Structure 1
Amino acid sequence: MRLRADRPQRLATISYRAAAPGGGTEGARLAVERFRVDALPGGYDAIVAAGDLQGIAVSPLGGRPGLLGIAVADYLGVWADDGLLPPPDRVGVLLTGDLHSAPEADSRGASGPVGDMWLAFVAAGCPMVFGVAGSHDEVTTEQVGALGRDIALLKPRAPGLALCGHVSWSEPAARLGGGHVVNVDSRVAVFTAGPG
Structure 2
Amino acid sequence: MRITSIQLELIREIPFLNAGRGPGGFYRDSLPVHRGFVDALPDGMSAIIATADLQGRETFESAGGKPLRLLGEVLPAILANEILPNLGLADGRIGVLLAGDFYTVPALDKRGGSGNVTSVWQAFADEFDWVVGVAGNHDLFGDAATRPRFNNPIHFLDYDTVTVDELPIAGLSGIPGNPRRPWRRTEDDFVEALEQLLCDSPAILVMHEGPDAPDFGFRGSPRMRESIESSEPTLIVRGHAHWKEPLATLSNGTQVLNVDARAILLTCQAS
TM-score bracket for the superposition, by shorter chain length: 0.7 to 0.9
Aligned residue in 2 for 1:29: 30
Partner Cα distance (1:105, 1:184) in 2: 22
Choose 1 or 2 for highest CA Rg. 2
Distance 1:15 1:117, change over 3 A: same
1:12-161 → structure 2 map (5 Å cutoff) = 12-20=12-20, 22-23=21-22, 24-58=25-59, 63=64, 64=66, 65-80=68-83, 82-84=85-87, 86=89, 90-124=93-127, 126-139=128-141, 140-143=146-149, 145=150, 148-154=151-157, 155-156=171-172, 157=197, 159=204, 160-161=234-235
1:14-55, Cα deviation, whole Å (9 max, x unpaired) = 1011123x4421211100001101112333200001100000
In 1, are the aligned partners of 2:17 and 2:59 still within 8 Å (CA)?
Answer: no
Query: What is the letter of the counterpart of residue 50 of structure 2?
Result: A
1:163 is paired with a residue whose SS is: strand
Query: What is the letter of the counterpart of residue 26 of structure 2?
Result: T
Aligned residue in 1 for 2:262: 187
* Percent of residue pairs bearing the same amino acid type: 37
> Post-superposition shift, 1:85?
7.0
Total equivalences in the alignment: 191
Distance 1:166 1:81, change over 3 A: closer
Runs of 5+ in structure 1 lacking a partner?
A: none
Higher strand share: 1
Compute the RMSD of aligned alpha carbons: 2.7
Aligned residue in 1 for 2:236: 162
> Post-superposition shift, 1:82?
4.5
Partner Cα distance (1:150, 1:110) in 2: 28
> Post-superposition shift, 1:173?
0.8
Runs of 5+ in structure 2 lacking a partner?
A: 158-170, 173-196, 199-203, 205-233
